[in-house]
Amino acid sequence: MTFEVHPVTPDRFEDFADVVNPNRRATHCWCVPHRLRSADVRELGGGDRKQAMRALCERDLPPGVVAYADGTPVAWCNLGPRADIPALVHSRKLRPVDDVPVWSIVCVVVRGGHRKRGHTSRLLEGAVGYAAAHGAPAVEAYPVDPSGRMDTTMAFVGTRAMFEKVGFAVIGRTEATASRLPRLVMRRDL
């Protein structure tokens, strides 16, 4: 199997959509709530999240990476400089732990029908490589640490074990929760 990870540029937008919203539902998040405020969605996409995300993909620094297994888009990771992600910049519960200008992972999705094949680890390695290639000194994630079976909605924030598998370490805890589970601050220095 070949596995490749690429920035979600305009020519890869439909591949991104195949992963995060295969039915192209207009009410779906389109992975923009962390990156854009409502006013930004109106400005960039006329109020349409899909169009706003398409506009983000046209920027010099796309908002994440799409992963391909044997040419099929199978996974997505929303990441970028923490300073460029308003939901983190303005959060009172996910505060920076220090002054390092980290990149942050805010969403991880593996497409239905392609889960439990090891794609998440390869996706995260590719995401870290993308960040490193753009000068990131470290990459952070804010996963949960469930004690038992995880609610599938938590797959978007990830789990401690998922990030430890690819070299991230816990460096703190946040005041934020996800489905009542506390969220950690995990980092991988580059």
CATH at 8: 3.40.630.30
The count of other CB atoms within 10 Å of the CB of residue 16 is 25
**Residues 85, 140 contacting (CB under 8 angstroms):** no
Predicted model pTM: 0.92
Q: Is the pLDDT of residue 28 over 90?
A: no
- Would you state the pLDDT for residue 150? 53
Q: Out of 10-14, 44-48, 101-105, which region has the weakest mean confidence (pLDDT)?
A: 44-48
**Residues 65, 77 contacting (CB under 8 angstroms):** yes
Q: Is the pLDDT of residue 155 over 90?
A: no
Domain that holds residue 33: 3-189
Strand partners, 61: none
Amino acid identity, position 35: R
- Would you state the pLDDT for residue 149? 58
Q: Is the pLDDT of residue 50 over 80?
A: yes
Amino acid identity, position 136: A
Report the distance separating Cα 171 and Cα 186, nearest Å: 6
Average pLDDT over residues 112-124: 93
pLDDT confidence tier of residue 154, bands split at 50, 70 and 90: very low
Taking alpha carbons only, the member of 156, 31, 169, 34 closest to residue 89 is 34
**Residues 39, 32 contacting (CB under 8 angstroms):** no
Q: Is the pLDDT of residue 4 over 90?
A: yes
Q: Is the pLDDT of residue 133 over 90?
A: yes
Q: Provide the domain count of the chain.
A: 1
Better-scored residue on pLDDT, 157 or 132: 132
- Would you state the pLDDT for residue 121? 95
C-alpha radius of gyration, the chain, whole number: 16
Q: Out of 83-97, 123-137, 141-155, which region has the weakest mean confidence (pLDDT)?
A: 141-155
**Residues 189, 141 contacting (CB under 8 angstroms):** no
pLDDT confidence tier of residue 148, bands split at 50, 70 and 90: low
- Would you state the pLDDT for residue 163? 95
